[in-house]
Amino acid sequence: MRDPRYHQLASLLVNHSCKVKPGEKVLVEATDIPTDFTVELIRAIDAAGGLPVVSTYHQSVMRALYQVATDSQMEFIGSIEKARMEGVQCYIGVRGSHNISETSDVPGDRMAKYEKWWWHEVHSEVRVKKTRWVVLRWPNPSMAQAAGMSVEAFEDFYFNVCAGVDYAKMTEAQKPLLDLMNRTSDVHITGPGTDLRFSKKGIATVPCAGECNVPDGEIFTCPVKNSVQGRITFNAETLYRGTVFNGISLTFVDGKIVEATANGGLTNKLNEILDADEGARYIGEFSLAFNPFILKPMKDILFDEKIAGSFHFTPGQAYDEADNGNRSQIHWDMVLIQRPEYGGGEIYFDGQLVRKDGLFVLPELLGLNPANLGA
């Protein structure tokens, strides 16, 4: 018997996120997920009149490929993948992970080849810019363990936060914040180890409610590239290139990260990533998060970047929709949670307090607080 939650989630991805139309080609990339869900996606795409194109991957196989990567090899693979991506109108990426540290022993220069020729050229330059797309993780024992939950409890949590959110209600609740952020020039953020200022003048703001990420619940923009000044200390663990970093602290002068440290002896590895290219030391995204059901980090950025009462600040590539001109093969969402149990903090727009200790304080924004979004 098929899990009825599979049908609900597949329908959300095909009809709400990608809005598949008759005759459109839909690329599905499935990594270490149940075959039954891939089948459900194929059926949902077909029911919408779309034409499914499917590839399945295994993380352990990809690790082996990364380990032997050469520039010419990755450039060749990237050219094939790019041509395929250019031929579809929609993309659904469902990614499982049996071991979140599977790629931790892949040399940084080998991962950089993948990021440059495959990820950047295919996903950053084509998929993000030219398709209607959605990406999500798949619940498995590894994710349950990272979240500190049983597998059964985590699956219930997963389908609740992914397909149980009222995204129509969230869309309406975001409108006053969208208007405010579009009128905002200067942003000031304070908290433990954090005193950060930047301008977003002239840069667009983009609301997100289940279109490109599931789970969802954020609104993002971008700092003016050279405007970021001060220091920020992140309190959520972050997984990048198979390594878990914590206690990352970044110091900015005229937009550039001039000092970067991490706990656990990982400062050198952190700086190695930030030295990948010139743009990796500048910020490509600033986003406020408010999914009411996600309250703690679990080392999975598609969940962690939506934590209620948090925001993320992202070294690397900017999105076209909210562009400050920064270009990089890196896009690393780093999360700071500002609820009281994580140390609190304040966010000011043009000198006005907008959010304190993770809760919006302006009357027109109260609809985005967890109590009003369904938690």
Whole-angstrom Cα Rg for the chain: 20
Average pLDDT of the residues in 65-88: 93
Q: How confident is the model at residue 177 (pLDDT cuts 50, 70, 90)?
A: very high
Task: Evaluate whether 62 touches 110 at the Cβ level (below 8 Å).
Answer: no
Query: If phi over 0 gives left and psi between -120 and 50 gives alpha, with beta otherwise, what is residue 217?
Result: left
Distance from C-alpha of 358 to C-alpha of 347, rounded to nearest angstrom: 9
Q: How confident is the model at residue 108 (pLDDT cuts 50, 70, 90)?
A: confident
Strand 206-208's sheet: what is its strand order? Answer: 206-208, 218-221, 283-289, 310-315, 334-337
Note the pLDDT of residue 219: 97
The dihedral over CA atoms of 285, 371, 339, 336, expressed in degrees to the nearest 10, equals -20
Residues with Cβ within 8 Å of residue 173, at least 6 apart in sequence: 367, 368, 372, 373
Domain boundaries, the chain: 4-163, 167-373
Distance from C-alpha of 207 to C-alpha of 79, rounded to nearest angstrom: 32
pLDDT beyond 90 at 214:
no
- Look up the CATH number of domain 4-163: 3.40.1830.10
pLDDT beyond 70 at 1:
no
Smallest CA-to-CA distance from 301 within 241, 370, 356, 347 is with 241
Task: Evaluate whether 221 touches 174 at the Cβ level (below 8 Å).
Answer: no
| CA 330 to each of CA 149, 240, 285, 314: distance values in angstroms, whole numbers, following the listed order | 31, 10, 12, 9
- The model's pLDDT over 312-361, given as tens digits with 9 standing for 90+, comes to 999 999 999 999 999 999 999 999 999 999 999 999 999 999 999 999 99
Note the pLDDT of residue 375: 54
Note the pLDDT of residue 140: 82
- The model's pLDDT over 229-240, given as tens digits with 9 standing for 90+, comes to 999 999 999 989
Distance from C-alpha of 35 to C-alpha of 33, rounded to nearest angstrom: 6
- The model's pLDDT over 115-148, given as tens digits with 9 standing for 90+, comes to 899 889 999 899 999 999 999 988 888 788 878 8
Window from 81-85, 133-137, 252-256 with minimum mean pLDDT:
133-137
Structure tokens at 175: 């409108």
Window from 68-77, 207-216, 279-288 with minimum mean pLDDT:
207-216
Structure tokens at 39: 């089948």
- The model's pLDDT over 24-76, given as tens digits with 9 standing for 90+, comes to 999 999 999 999 999 999 999 999 999 999 999 998 898 998 999 899 999 99
